[in-house]
Structure 1
Amino acid sequence: MDNYDSQNSSTKKNSSNREKVAVIGAVRTPFVKSFGVFENETALSLSLRVATELIARTGVQASEIDECIWGVVIPQTKNANLAREIVLFSGLPTTIAGFTLNKACNSSLQTAEIAADRILLGKNNLVLAGGVEVLSDVPIPFSDEARRFLTKMSRARSFKERLSLIGSVNPKWFLPKPPALAEPFTGLTMGEHAEIMTVKNNVSRSRQDELAYKSHINAAKASESGYFSDEIIPVWAGKDKNNFIDKDNMVRPDTTMESMAKLKPVFDKRNGTITAANSSPLTDGAAATLLASESYVKEKNIPILGYILDFITVGVDPNDQLLIGPAYAIPKILKRNNLTKDDIDVFEIHEAFAGQVLSCLDCMNNEKFCKEKLGMPLFGSIPPEKINIQGGAIAIGHPFGATGARLIGNALRITKRKKGRYALVAVCAAGGMGMAALLEAK
């Protein structure tokens, strides 16, 4: 979305006459460590939980929902079009169309952007948008040889033909192939790219551990204060659905800088600074938002969390700094809306790795980077007390397809509680991409 407003950008800051996209509600499941309590769940089961509960909590008429848009990163062979299956299996009216997308870690921010675009174009009034990731249920592919053999077997017309095919089988063909973790374009993993960024930006191990420590402490305090109670939808999990999960299970309130310092680097074992403690863990979870036109919520007198004002997507050279997208997206979206960093009350910057967040912050506070990469004067530093106030993905977790939707709801709730006005969400993504969303609390 290039711009949410056709007016000149100089008029945007105080414009109140244009139509806005309202966020009626946003919820999520608990975010839990993969291969644990959600190991019997699927992308569909968790998505159904948040979608149906969100509709019930907001009280909107299901028959008035125009579309369902969902994000998921790891391909789900069980669900060719997860969004449509959410509609059908939830009992929502079959008139609601749905489509599913993959934009890496930007996926559920992208579903919200598309929903907002369609609302502003007048095509829809009410849209369910969200995302999910269940790495516990990741499909494990076989080799190309095994695939070709099974295809030929299914097409064989006689027993003799099948027997001949069986005689050519190599058992090694059927060894499972783990999902690829490397970037296709560079051949490096996310963690290896994050290591490159920490070296390039001279980000120390101690700074990374400190950010991770604050993530856990802030998330623990928010949980203890009940700040997540409005957004987390409990899930009955387990084979017999007898395990009640109502909290994120990776937040460590007892963590210390000393314990983090003892961990060995994961990606560069000799000289690296990135560890399991200062990285986001593999996570299962789902999140959803319900978006509507401003005129719709006013007509129906529906309470809302706030408004979506703008989105921006950026692409960067994957060979340079793969996860630096937020450092491009944040200054650009603020400039386009005639706002400064001082106007923003809450920043939610996705924590893929502590070193990635710190690299983004350092680059925005680097005059050379801003001039050469952004074509702007120095952006400056963002006050730490405005960033990830209730913790981030290092503590809470990061289900790839769900993080953007979580951040929208979380940012608006924090901003409302602080009696602020503007919030900004920024997320890096695989492939050298980044997105940002500008929000206004109500």
Structure 2
Amino acid sequence: MTSTVVVTGIGAVTPLGATAQETWQAALAGTSGAHTLDNDWAEKYELPVDFAATVAPGVVEERLKKVESKRLDPASRFALIASREAWEDAGSPDVEPERLAVSWATGIGGVWTLLDAWDTLKEEGTRRVMPLTVPMLMPNAPAAAVGMEFTARAVVQTVVSACASSTESLGQAFEMIRSGKADVVISGGAEAAVHPITLSAFSSMRALSRRTDSPETASRPFDVDRDGFVMGEGGATLILESREHAEARGATIYAEVAGWGTSNDSYHITAGEPEGAGSIRAMRTAIESAGIAPSDIKHINGHATSTPVGDIPESYAVNMLLGDAVDDVRFSATKSMTGHLLGGAGAAEAMFTVMALKERVAPPTINIETVDPDVHLNIVRDTPAQLPDGDIAAITNSFGFGGHNAVVSFRSV
């Protein structure tokens, strides 16, 4: 017998807010988290991009003790902050450590720790390199930090599949509960990679927007004049548990995790398959495994990065999935506000999807002036859109370098 899986807690630290609720309210208000960076990187390294969407100054210092921050890479700090909030939001479940798991994700890992250590080695020598450098930079460090914080002894795992990472981590968490391996899973993703090396590298491949004169309008998914994504940072956590376990303790339930799907394009290391063939397979698996019909879907939070080549295949795939029902589905592209959190994006967007189902409102997509004529979606623009009453479903899409596709489906409760 398989268990029904539900979401009972959410937490986040993003460019839109220090908490999940702050982030959600800012998204509903159509707020952009992008801004010109307060540093000399562009001048010093001759970067063509001098802006990103970053977590507000002081947030980490307010939420973590100094000794905690010193021993954690920024990605792990975001993971711990978001997970503490989600755990409290879920009512601090009373669960045996052997029945508690962590399924976490990152796309890049501890880039700040690695490069800071390299600078220290070059400038000050071996003796000045921190002993905890490797435990801080390893990709599983955020998962380990969360696991130790809550004494999770069932499974503590890390998914690394580029920008699909944290959506895949949610799918893995779903499977843990469905299979009976855990009663509660702390799941999500975090990224802290706003650094000169990543800005330079993404700029070199022409993936980043170069609207330096207007950072807040730079991320414009599906717009005819889109020119790339905006780098973002942060993390988000969802607490997943069996419905039986949640109801037994009187927990608030946000939504049901209904199913999930993955696929791979095996087409190109950075570009997705141009007709969306891999994306449609992942989406179809996510709804078929849940017993959801295309007509049940009323909301999609899209991957929608605002790249010239990335947005069109997603539109094709959604239309192939939904057919004539596509006009009834409210499509949101929240990266227009948060920027692209890379390995943390899927978790943040899953949180938005859960909140959309709970409150029956789809967040807006900002900055669209003229929709690309090749895009045929019912995009929520500028202001939130109401979702219908009754039993409805939603999906969230994530597609990553390496051809990774991951989709999670949710039902209202």
2:207 aligned residue: 191
Q: Which moved more, 1:422-431 or 1:313-322?
A: 313-322
Closer, same or farther: CA 52–125 of 1 in aligned 2, 3 Å: same
How many residues are treated as equivalent by the alignment? 298
1:169-318 aligned within 5 A: 181=202, 189=205, 191=207, 274-275=226-227, 279-318=228-267
Calculate percent identity across the aligned residue pairs.
17
Deviation at 1:281, TM superposition (A): 0.7
Deviation at 1:341, TM superposition (A): 2.6
Partner of 2:83, secondary structure, is: helix
| Rounded Cα–Cα distance in structure 2 between residues aligned with 1:20 and 1:100 | 23
1:159 aligned residue: none
Is 1:87–2:147 an aligned residue pair? Answer: yes
Select which of 386, 411, 419 maps to 2:353: 411
Select which of 378, 385, 393 maps to 1:422: 393
Q: Which moved more, 1:59-68 or 1:287-296?
A: 59-68
1:146 aligned residue: none
Deviation at 1:302, TM superposition (A): 1.0
What is the TM-score when the length of structure 1 is the normalising length? 0.58
| Rounded Cα–Cα distance in structure 2 between residues aligned with 1:362 and 1:107 | 22
Deviation at 1:62, TM superposition (A): 5.9
1:383 aligned residue: 327
Q: Is the 8 A contact 1:190 1:430 kept in 2?
A: no
Closer, same or farther: CA 336–30 of 1 in aligned 2, 3 Å: closer
Instruction: Name structure 1 gaps, 5 residues minimum.
Output: 1-5, 7-17, 141-176, 183-187, 195-208, 210-215, 217-249, 262-272, 371-375
Partner of 1:382, secondary structure, is: helix
1:74 aligned residue: 108
| Rounded Cα–Cα distance in structure 2 between residues aligned with 1:321 and 1:256 | 19
1:114 aligned residue: 172
Deviation at 1:189, TM superposition (A): 4.0
Structure 2 residue identity aligned to 1:105 = C
Closer, same or farther: CA 332–69 of 1 in aligned 2, 3 Å: closer
Partner of 2:343, secondary structure, is: coil
Partner of 1:352, secondary structure, is: coil
Closer, same or farther: CA 298–381 of 1 in aligned 2, 3 Å: closer
Instruction: Name structure 2 gaps, 5 residues minimum.
Output: 16-32, 35-51, 61-73, 115-135, 361-388
Structure 2 residue identity aligned to 1:383 = D
Deviation at 1:403, TM superposition (A): 1.5
Deviations, residues 192-216 of structure 1 (Å, cap 9, x unaligned): 9x9xxxxxxxxxxxxxx9xxxxxx9
Select which of 343, 346, 367 maps to 1:401: 343
Is 1:329–2:389 an aligned residue pair? Answer: no
Q: Which moved more, 1:117-126 or 1:410-419?
A: 410-419
1:51 aligned residue: 83
| Rounded Cα–Cα distance in structure 2 between residues aligned with 1:29 and 1:352 | 20
Deviations, residues 142-175 of structure 1 (Å, cap 9, x unaligned): xxxxxxxxxxxxxxxxxxxxxxxxxxxxxxxxxx
Deviation at 1:394, TM superposition (A): 2.3
Quick check: which has more Rg, 1 or 2?
1
Is 1:22–2:22 an aligned residue pair? Answer: no
Which one has more relative contact order, counting CA pairs under 8 Å at least 6 apart? 1
Deviation at 1:35, TM superposition (A): 8.0
1:358-369 aligned within 5 A: 358-362=312-316, 364-365=318-319
| Rounded Cα–Cα distance in structure 2 between residues aligned with 1:181 and 1:427 | 18
Deviation at 1:280, TM superposition (A): 2.7
Closer, same or farther: CA 36–128 of 1 in aligned 2, 3 Å: closer
Closer, same or farther: CA 295–384 of 1 in aligned 2, 3 Å: closer
Structure 2 residue identity aligned to 1:57 = D
Q: Is the 8 A contact 2:302 2:396 kept in 1?
A: yes
Closer, same or farther: CA 57–256 of 1 in aligned 2, 3 Å: closer
| Rounded Cα–Cα distance in structure 2 between residues aligned with 1:428 and 1:290 | 23
What is the root-mean-square deviation of aligned Cα atoms in Å? Answer: 3.7
Deviations, residues 248-305 of structure 1 (Å, cap 9, x unaligned): xx755xx999xx98xxxxxxxxxxx542xxx331001111010001211121121111
